[in-house]
Amino acid sequence: MNPSAAATVEAIDLTRKPRPLEVLVQGSMFLAGMISILTTIGIVFVLGREALLFFQTDEVTLGEFFGSTTWEPQILEFGIWPLVRSTMMVSLIAVLVAVPLGLATAIYLSEYASERARGILKPILEVLAGIPTVVYGYFALTFMTPMLRSIFGVSIVEIFNVASAGIVVGILIIPLVSSMSEDALHAVPLSLREAAYGLGATKLEVSLRIVLPAALSGVTAAFVVSVSRAIGETMVVAIAAGASPRNWNLGKDGVLTTILNPFISGETMTGHIVRISGGDLSYNSIDYNSVFAIGLMLFLMTLGLNLLSRRFVARFREVYE
Amino acid sequence: MSAGAFPKGAQLEAQINRRRRQGVYLRLSFLGSLMLAILALLTLLANIINSAFGLVALENAVSPAALVEEIGLDPAGSALSDLSKDDLLLVLEGNINNNVGRRLEREQRFYSDSLVFETQTKWDEICAREVDRPAGCSGDVRGRDDVYALVVEQIVQPKALETWSLIDSVLHRSEIEAAAAVSYPDADLVFRSWLSMDFVTSPQSPKAEVAGVRTAVLGSLWIVLVTIVFSFPVGVAAAVYLEEYARDTRLNRLIQTNINNLAGVPSIIYGMLGLAIFVRVLETFTSGAFLGAVDGGVTANGRTVVSAGLTLGLLILPIIIINAQEAIRAVPQSLRSAGMALGATQWQTIRAHVLPNAVPGILTGAILAVARALGETAPLVVVGASTFITTDPSGPFAKFTALPIQIFQWTSRPQDEFRNIAAAAIIVLLIMLLALNATAIVLRNRYARRV
């Protein structure tokens, strides 16, 4: 540009102008994002504080909490194991139901089903995922329990039992397992499948020996998340698994007849929280604090599992994306 | 077959056939698993319908026709259910004792300008009280349907002696009729749909035969309203921040990871957070005390619609953020560049180009999140849903119950008739969810065509 032309054009100020609205908007949106951090801090603080108060009382020690197998707040016995036992039993049964069914469903949808069939079948699974858990609770109590009782006998299966709740929690998390596994199977590159077909493998061999192992980290992630969901599931167990902690004694009770018996009742961690806080709970009582100690344990367990599953997901992303 | 040797001829054919057969079997078992999942869904629905309809042996304490006759009308010409509010009140006045009447009037008035059971002087006196001022002194007047529900509940008192499921009622009707005639000679055997207009419009009641879900449905709607008002703006703002403004700093990565982790926290933990923060710490605000909006001297101690709504708001916030982020990410980069190139500031570009294009995705995600909130039960129990209230929630600072809570409580009762109304309430809940999901689908399709 020559100097004479530049003189005729009015000089434009190109320095950055302060724009208060922009700053305000960006600032308030940042604050909205920070609410999520505050939520986490809130959860950790609230659970931690009340749990600390619980362990500071004279009635309970950490050793008793993790060592005793009797949970009876009325006589100030706070051993977490009866609640953990039921939670673990429900989760185990749920995973035994959900992982094989969910994985097989995912393989079918990803490897076998036509586009049209997928278009019909996937929304049906989404309906299954969209039904509120309290409805599953009703299903467990009014359908699954009577069915189990008619199969195994009324004297063996109690009205409230862990098996019924576990099976129904399993049904509830099938869609979760299948959609996560399907994502993982789908991410396996087509070239791997084609290479196997080129060597003469059948469709089944490709699915089970090539695609599934290649997607293993994603499938493992689905498995871990399903355990976490089952542990945190509340309404089904609150309705169908029983409303009092099932205390046990390692010396006296048989392992198979009592402790690992899926047909007897047993209140889970989540079920206990709901029952105790559903009544008129006075603040700062030992009951109130004990519920938060259980909540903290529940939070740490699910958080650990969720973090673990994220690592698995990150691994299969790294390999194929 | 020796190791390393490739099978030939008949051996090869046998091997291939075996592998193909294996393929067919396993393919069938994969399909079978899928069908089993679908079968579970169908069984669940069938089980609910099976309980929501069916034969029931009903016994009335007083026959409705006798009541109509009592106030001088012809029972052949007008049924009890068709009477006007004035006539129904005549029936009520004539058949319940004055103490019960006064209690009902103190809960909620019958007329705005006159009293039915109380005397004016006594009424003025109790309403002037500072403490224990009854709810009836302020608030709405009972409607006709409400009075009808009272007449049925207090006077007619239908009692279900035994109920049968839909399948039994259809397949074994004659046997049931015979058995009922022997066991309950005074009862009427009627086919009852537990889900009915009366069920939807009646308030809660301790008697299953006359109970309804109006209180619970209104409670759910109030809670969801608070949830949306809180979590939608905050969620969308957070998503815009993360997608449009956030640079790759440690803090922003932390926010993102944190949101993903929050989505996996069990819902009951949110309930405990709500109990400790909204119900206890912020009681002054959530009980409405700071506005002086305490209803008739009765506070709900922070166990209010607001606390419940905010708790569910925090619960669905990560879902809304994640969905909105995906919608915003799907807006083509060229739109942003075009806006910026024309000299728009970043916020102008977002407001005029990015957000309008992301709206269908954001709304669909938000509606699905709201559907999740509508079905949540556990956090509401922990936050402190009232176990029994018959009056409709009057605002954000009222005590609350919600439809899933109602289902939970009815399911937990051992009597058969409560299972029946729990099933009917489930159908109401599922219809509400279906409506929400249908809205989401319609929205998506409408906007998808335009873009």
Q: Please list every residue in chain B whose beta carbon sits closer than 8 Å to the beta carbon of residue A125.
A: 37
Quick one: tokens of B407?
A: 């289902």
Q: Between B20, B268, B318, which is nearest A234 by CB?
A: B268
Global pTM reads 0.86
pLDDT in tens, A65-84: 888 888 888 788 888 888 99
Structurally, how many domains does chain B consist of? 2
SS3 label, residue A121? helix
> Which domain-ending residue is among B157, B182, B199?
B157
B11 in a domain, yes or no? no
Question: Is the CB of residue A34 less than 8 Å away from at least one CB of chain B?
Answer: yes
Distance CA A51, CA A296 (A): 7
Residue-level pLDDT at A10: 75
Higher pLDDT, A13 or B337: B337
| Average pLDDT score over residue span A217-226 | 92
Residue-level pLDDT at B297: 45
Does pLDDT of A116 surpass 80?
yes
Distance CA A177, CA A179 (A): 6
Distance CA A40, CA B448 (A): 36
Nearest CA to B30 among A320, A117, A148, A172? A117
Q: Which residue of A has its CA nearest to B44?
A: A139
B173 in a domain, yes or no? no
What single letter denotes the amino acid at residue B236?
Answer: V
B283 in a domain, yes or no? yes
> Which domain-ending residue is among B113, B139, B157?
B157
Q: Do B310 and B416 sit in the same domain of this protein?
A: yes
Residue-level pLDDT at A71: 86
pLDDT in tens, A163-196: 999 999 999 999 999 999 998 998 899 999 999 9
Q: Do B219 and B147 sit in the same domain of this protein?
A: no
**Cβ proximity of B303 and B384 under 8 Å:** yes
Helices (H), A57-114: 62-67, 81-107
Largest CA distance in chain A: 105
Residue-level pLDDT at B1: 43
Residue-level pLDDT at A1: 47
Q: Which regions of chain B are under pLDDT 50?
A: 1-2, 296-297, 451
pLDDT in tens, B164-218: 889 888 888 888 888 888 888 877 888 888 898 888 888 888 888 888 899 899 9
Residue-level pLDDT at B4: 63
Q: Do B296 and B421 sit in the same domain of this protein?
A: yes
Does pLDDT of A20 surpass 60?
yes
Distance CA B94, CA B67 (A): 9
The sign of the dihedral angle between the CA atoms of A99, A102, A107, A110 is negative
In CATH, the architecture of A85-279+306-320 is Orthogonal Bundle (1.10)
Residues 23-82 of B with CB under 8 A from A: 23, 26-27, 29-34, 36-38, 40-41, 43-44, 47-48, 51
Question: Is the CB of residue B269 less than 8 Å away from at least one CB of chain A?
Answer: yes
**% of chain A beyond a pLDDT of 70:** 94
> Which domain-ending residue is among B125, B140, B157?
B157
Please report, for the domain that includes residue B285, its CATH number. 1.10.3720.10
Query: How many other CB atoms are found less than 10 A from the CB of residue B116?
Result: 16
B239 in a domain, yes or no? yes
- Residue B250: burial class (beta carbons within 10 Å; 0-12, 13-18, 19+): exposed
B423 in a domain, yes or no? yes
Q: Do B418 and B286 sit in the same domain of this protein?
A: yes
Distance CA B402, CA B385 (A): 8
Prediction ipTM score: 0.90
Instruction: Determine whether the interchain pair B375/A47 forms a contact, defined as Cβ–Cβ distance below 8 Å.
Output: no
Distance CA B203, CA A267 (A): 32
Residue-level pLDDT at B98: 82
B138 in a domain, yes or no? yes
Q: What is the DSSP string of A260-317?
A: T-TTS----HHHHHHHHHHS-PPTTSHHHHHHHHHHHHHHHHHHHHHHHHHHHHHHHH
Q: Between A104, A127, A270, which is nearest B41 by CB?
A: A127
Q: How far is B31 from chain A (nearest CA, A)?
A: 6
B69 in a domain, yes or no? no
Mutation for A interface: B34, B281, B348, most A CBs within 10 A: B34
The domain of B326 spans 214-450
Helices (H), B295-376: 305-329, 333-341, 346-349, 355-375
pLDDT in tens, A40-52: 999 999 999 989 9
Q: What is the CA radius of gyration of chain B?
A: 30
Q: Do B122 and B243 sit in the same domain of this protein?
A: no
Nearest CA to B420 among B135, B151, B169? B169
Residue-level pLDDT at A226: 94
Q: Do B141 and B271 sit in the same domain of this protein?
A: no
Instruction: Determine whether the interchain pair B375/A133 forms a contact, defined as Cβ–Cβ distance below 8 Å.
Output: yes
B350 in a domain, yes or no? yes
Q: Hey, which residues does B189 pair with through a beta bridge?
A: B57
Q: What is the DSSP string of B182-220?
A: HH-TTSEEEEEESSSHHHHHSPP-SSTTT--SHHHHHHH
What pLDDT band is residue A29 in, cutting at 50, 70 and 90? very high
Residue-level pLDDT at A4: 53
Displacement of CA B223 from its chain's centroid (Å): 10
Domain boundaries, chain A: 85-279+306-320
pLDDT in tens, A122-150: 888 888 888 999 999 999 999 999 999 99
Task: State chain A's mean pLDDT as an integer.
Answer: 88
Mutation for B interface: A83, A134, A297, most B CBs within 10 A: A134
Question: Is the CB of residue B424 less than 8 Å away from at least one CB of chain A?
Answer: no
